[in-house]
Amino acid sequence: MRLKYIVYYLILMFSNCTPALAQSTARVVRVKDGDTYVFRSGARVFTVRLTKVDAPEMKQAFGFTAYQCVNQLLTGKAVEYDSVGKDLYGRVLVSVKLDGKRLDSLLIRNGWAWHYIAYDTETMLDNLMNEAIMTHSGLWACGVNHVCPPWLYRSYNERNRAKYCKGCTNYLLTQK
């Protein structure tokens, strides 16, 4: 009898400690940039932001190219997502799966975004970014010395952007 109570107590305790992830589905209506999209779920239309990546800004080197690649990949597609809250701009923070594959992994592996290490410490994403750097994929076409992370780009004024965020002038960068 006592064992039943202990087992019941443990089940109750662990069920409260592990929150259930509410996975939802939506269709990608629009890609705003490499890491920000507009979703439609039923009648609801809302803007989302990926949580573990940071893609180049549209005016930043490789930003438009990253946008084009992600736009081609996602627009009109049905995706699964888990929301984890909202950011300062009212966007829903999400992790996304496309055809059962994690979108953050895909973006990092193709060199379309950085692993956002300020907000995530997942080793697998670090390894994928290092792989993209070693193979000169996407924004890494000219190596690590010719890229400016978006979090620095956003913090710089125009003068420092021109000085430190020149980007890659390699012809291959515009072709990938």
Q: Which of 35, 25, 21, 2 is nearest to 154 (CA)?
A: 35
Amino acid at 84: V
Q: Which of 44, 49, 131, 159 is catalytic?
A: 49
103 contacts 134 by C-beta, under 8 angstroms: no
Give the active site residue among 27, 91, 159, 161: 91
Q: Single out the catalytic residue among 57, 158, 159, 161.
A: 57
Q: Give me 98's structure tokens.
A: 């496309």
Our answer to whether residue 49 is catalytic in this structure is yes
- 109 has catalytic annotation: no
Contact of 164 with 148, CB cutoff 8 Å: yes
Q: Which residue has the tokens 């259930």?
A: 20
- Residues with catalytic annotation? 49, 57, 91
